[in-house]
Structure 1
Amino acid sequence: MQNTPLTLLILNGKGAGNEELRAAVTTLREEGFDVAVRVTWEKGDGERYVQEAVALQATTVVAGGGDGTINEIATALAALPAGQRPVLGILPLGTANDFATSVGIPAEMEPALRLAIVGKQTAIDLACVNGDRYFINMATGGFGTRITTETPEKLKSALGGVSYFIHGLMRVDALKPDSCEISGPDFHWQGDALVIGIGNGRQAGGGQKLCPEALINDGQLNLSIVTAQELLPTLLHSLTRDDENPNIVSAQLTSLAIRSPNEMTFNLDGEPLTGSEFTIEVMPGALNCRLPPQCALLA
């Protein structure tokens, strides 16, 4: 294989010692694929490596890490002019890997890396928050956000995505709803929300399907608001029954505004953003991403 296009693999530092990944990179290089590896150490490295990928004329940038790493790389790609933007590939190396899991990226390193390099590229949506922050998977507010930001690293390392749910059960006594107003085209809601999910993707917090109908290429965001005063029965209802849940308000919107008299924190793919006003809008077809052929999140 001669003159193969360059792929730049940007690895979160936590995954740099993964032996299965090292073997996968070696295998693909031996097959003739041009794979360069960069490892992030601190905030800003991902953006710098994306700029380097453009300078090297890489056709694909692979984000190797969890949802936060994918967010960092997707955000850096979105800032580029469309004509210079490499295709995004995904290598799941995080704790929860919510986006990678829901779109069907293989958990094994070699098939995941192969898909990231040679898979068919598909245009997917991105969501923009307050004009300068982004999420590719989901923004969560309320109780779910407090759980994902407070779950101890040791618990995450030991139990993976289940750790968020366990930590959540431990904290149910500390529930406080967020009072807010949410509005969008032909939509208005005001009240106390325990959990808010704004989904480009379907799940967050280690597998909780807050927006089970979301698609990543339909030009829409899916909104789910858990309004119940008792979170645990509501969660159990949503996990065990298929009928409409009276404690969940749902909508599909191209944009929405959230206002609260108090400060709220939203998790954008695991990256916290605090404020009292948020404007969120979908960016249709903002990125090209290599996804499995039967990806369940494509329209």
Structure 2
Amino acid sequence: MPTDEPTHTTERTDGPGPGSADRRVLVLSNSSAGSSEEEIVERVCRELESCSPAGTEVVTPADDEEYAAAVASAVGRVVVVMGGDGSLHRLLQSVHDQDLLGRVGAVGVVPLGTGNDLARGAGIPLDPQAAARVAVAGARTERGLLVDDEGSVVVNVVHAGVAAEATAHAGDVKGVLGKAAYGWGALRAGLTSKGWHLRVSVDGENIADDGRPELMVTLALGSSVGGGTPVAPHARADDGQVEVVVAHGVSPLARVRFALDLRKGRHTQREDVTLTSGREVVVTAERDIDAFRVNTDGEVEEQRVARRSWRLLDQGWTLRVPEGSTGDVG
């Protein structure tokens, strides 16, 4: 007998199938997940299936081409990302590259990364099954999205200076130390970095060009990095602004005190820290030797650069969060 009730089906594919442009929730899984993570993914998929009236389509793209095709099939659909900030960055980068901003449905996150800072800041549960329920049935909140002059998007936080060096050092030991690698990287960078002479402009106004070297420049939509360090405790991803933090203190004592205050979110109260916000930011090295690394959503570029600019897009994206949560708050 015919029925109008939706069918609960889960389809696992290596790439998007011909019928993927439908109402099913699109679940993007990581093809490099280990066996222990695969078990979590299976449990999460069952949870998503039980919460999704139209069913789910789980896609594990094998390469960039398949990933782009999967994202293209997400127009008008809810998308659930299984992974950390890097996985979410990959999704929004593909959405931006394919000019799909505003066309892809709400995005849910099941945090399976190391730091999961965007999920933490947005109040999304770190328990995968609890996060799965929020991913398909949570409240919708609009989020900002930065893009730089190379076309790379920023979903959470981008750094220049010591914070980028710290992440680069953390990458050397992340496989061994896990989340603790961020602390090791920050310690090593803090002991060895002597600062960079940078000119920092926010909405056309120079806020760091007085000859002092800078220790760190951070542009933040989210509030934390490295698994919960409150790098921009007052940042909000839905206020139409990017928070800019510039740390000027580069003496050995200043670096130590800054690091201690940073762990507790008190660094923005320091006299050697400039805090502002805006929509367009330009960072320029004053000399060739001041070329700087850039760390975007936890990924550090190999090549140092002499100049980089960012602007906040008018068109952002929508994230699923727990009911009653408004995302990052100070």
TM-score with structure 2 setting the length: 0.80
Cα drift, residue 130 of structure 1: 0.7
Corresponding position of 1:212? 233
> In the TM superposition, what whole-angstrom CA distance separates every residue of 1:195-245 from its partner, at most 9, and x where no partner exists?
111001111233222111000011101001111113221121344585821
Q: CA RMSD in A?
A: 2.5
Question: Do residues 282 (structure 1) and 306 (structure 2) align?
Answer: no
Q: Is structure 2 residue 198 aligned with structure 1 residue 167?
A: no
Matched residue type, 2:56? V
CA contact (8 A) 2:229 2:265 kept: no
Q: Quick check: 1:66–1:94 contact (8 Å CA) kept in 2?
A: yes
Are residues 1:86 and 2:105 paired? yes
Pair member with larger Rg: 2
Deviations 1:146-168 (A, max 9, x none): 12123246x43454333211232
**Percent identity between the aligned chains?**
20
CA–CA distance in 2 between the matches of 1:290 and 1:246?
A: 37
**Cα distance in structure 2, aligned partners of 1:85 and 1:99:** 19
The structure whose residues are more often strand, as a share, is: 1
Distance of 2:34 and 2:25 partners within structure 1: 17
Equivalent AA in structure 2 for residue 219 of structure 1: G
Tell whether 2:289 aligns with 1:271. Answer: no
Decide whether aligned partners of structure 1 residues 60 and 178 sit closer, same or farther in structure 2, where only a CA change above 3 A counts: same
Structure 1: gaps of 5 or more residues? none
SS of residue paired to 2:73: helix
Match in the other structure for 1:12: 30
Mapped contact 2:245–2:275 kept (Cα < 8 A) = yes
Change (3 A) 1:16 1:112: farther
Which runs of no fewer than 5 residues in structure 2 stay unpaired?
Answer: 9-22
**CA contact 1:90–1:112 (8 Å) conserved in 2:** yes
Structure 1 Cα separation of the partners of residues 180 and 292 of structure 2: 25
Report what 1:200 is aligned to: 221
Pairs aligned (count)? 295
Cα distance change of structure 1 residues 159 and 292 upon mapping to structure 2, 3 Å threshold: farther
Q: Are the counterparts in 2 of residues 121 and 288 from structure 1 also a CA contact under 8 Å?
A: yes
Q: Secondary structure at the match of 2:29?
A: strand
> TM-score, normalising length from structure 1?
0.88
Q: For 2:327 and 2:107, locate their aligned partners in 1 and report how far apart those are by CA, in whole Å.
A: 18
Q: Which letter does structure 1 place at the counterpart of 2:156?
A: N
1:2 maps to which of 6, 10, 22: 6
Q: Which residue of 2 aligns with 1:39?
A: 60
Change (3 A) 1:83 1:74: closer
Query: Partners of 1:103 and 1:83 in 2: how far apart?
Result: 20
CA deviations on 1:1-37 (whole Å, 9 max, x unpaired) are: 5168311111223436421331121243256451111
Trace 1:45-64 onto structure 2 (pairs within 5 A): 45-54=66-75, 59-64=77-82
Is residue 196–residue 225 contact of structure 1 (8 Å, CA) maintained in 2? yes
1:251 to 270, 276, 290: 276
